[in-house]
Amino acid sequence: MTDRRLARVGVDIGGSKTQIRAESADGAVLTDHIVASTGWDATDPGDAAAWISQVITATIGDLPGFHDRWPLAIGAQGIESDHAAQRLAAALSHGGWWASVCNDAELLLPASGWTDGIAIIAGTGAIGVARTANGRSLRASGWGWVLADDGGGAALVRQAARAVLRRADHGQARDPLGVALLADFAVSDEAELAATMSWRNGVEDWACHAPVIFAQENYSADAAKVISAGAQSLADLAVILVSRGADPTRIVIAGSVACKAPGYGDLICGLISAALPGARPRLLSVDPVIGAVELARRMAAGT
Domains of the chain: 8-112+286-301 (3.30.420.40), 153-283 (3.30.420.40)
Q: What angle do CA 17, 298, 7 make, to 5 degrees?
A: 70
Q: Rounded distance, CA 55 to CA 36, Å?
A: 10
Q: How confident is the model at residue 2 (pLDDT cuts 50, 70, 90)?
A: very low
Q: How confident is the model at residue 203 (pLDDT cuts 50, 70, 90)?
A: confident
Q: In this predicted model, what pLDDT tens digit does every residue of 208-246 receive, in sequence order?
A: 999 999 999 999 999 999 999 999 999 999 999 999 999
For residue 60, give Cα distances in angstroms to 11, 15, 42, 135, 174.
11, 21, 22, 33, 49
Q: What are phi and psi of 135, to 5 degrees?
A: 90, 5
The pLDDT assigned to 201 comes to 67
What percentage of residues in the chain have a pLDDT greater than 70? 97
The pLDDT assigned to 67 comes to 67
Quick check: 61 pLDDT over 90?
no
Q: Rounded distance, CA 115 to CA 240, Å?
A: 20
The pLDDT assigned to 303 comes to 63
Residue type, position 81, single letter: S
Q: Return the minimum-mean-pLDDT range out of 130-144, 147-161, 170-184.
A: 130-144
Q: What is the mean pLDDT of the chain?
A: 92
Collect all residues with Cβ–Cβ distance below 8 Å to 83 and sequence separation of at least 6. Answer: none
Q: In this predicted model, what pLDDT tens digit does every residue of 34-49 receive, in sequence order?
A: 999 999 999 999 999 9
Cβ contact 237:128 at 8 Å: yes
Mean pLDDT over 203-207 rounds to: 83
Quick check: 60 pLDDT over 80?
yes
CB atoms within 10 A of CB 57: 12
pTM: 0.85
Mean pLDDT over 113-137 rounds to: 92
For residue 171, give Cα distances in angstroms to 164, 165, 190, 211.
11, 10, 12, 26
Quick check: 83 pLDDT over 90?
yes
The pLDDT assigned to 124 comes to 87
Collect all residues with Cβ–Cβ distance below 8 Å to 179 and sequence separation of at least 6. Answer: none
Quick check: 1 pLDDT over 60?
no
The pLDDT assigned to 288 comes to 93
The pLDDT assigned to 10 comes to 97
Q: Return the minimum-mean-pLDDT range out of 10-19, 62-71, 86-95, 283-292.
A: 62-71
Cβ contact 167:175 at 8 Å: yes
